[in-house]
Amino acid sequence: MEKTKTKTKSKPPEQTLAEVKYLRYLIDNGIRVRVRLRSNEEFSGTIEFYDSSFLRLTRTDGPNLFIYKHDIKYLHEEEG
């Protein structure tokens, strides 16, 4: 009689680096994004810099902004 090995599931990684890859893609390609804050304010521009706490949004229609990530509801690429 053969013993079957029991497979233990490993814990998923706490960080997949998907956010880092996506932000790097947006910066490297100069893609304009629209950022919606938890307060429902929206801003458009390109991401120039980011770290674990905030990102810098460079705008043509106003001053550049440093936005804390915890204040962001979502962001998406602008069309056109």
* pLDDT tens by residue, 2-47: 566 667 788 877 778 899 999 999 999 999 999 999 999 999 999 9
- The angle subtended at Cα 79 by Cα 15 and Cα 57, nearest 5°, is 55
Residue 75 has pLDDT above 90, yes or no: yes
Query: Domain 18-77 falls in which CATH fold?
Result: SH3 type barrels. (2.30.30)
Domain boundaries, the chain: 18-77
Contacts of residue 48, defined as CB under 8 A and 6 or more positions apart, other chains included, come to 27, 56, 57, 58, 64
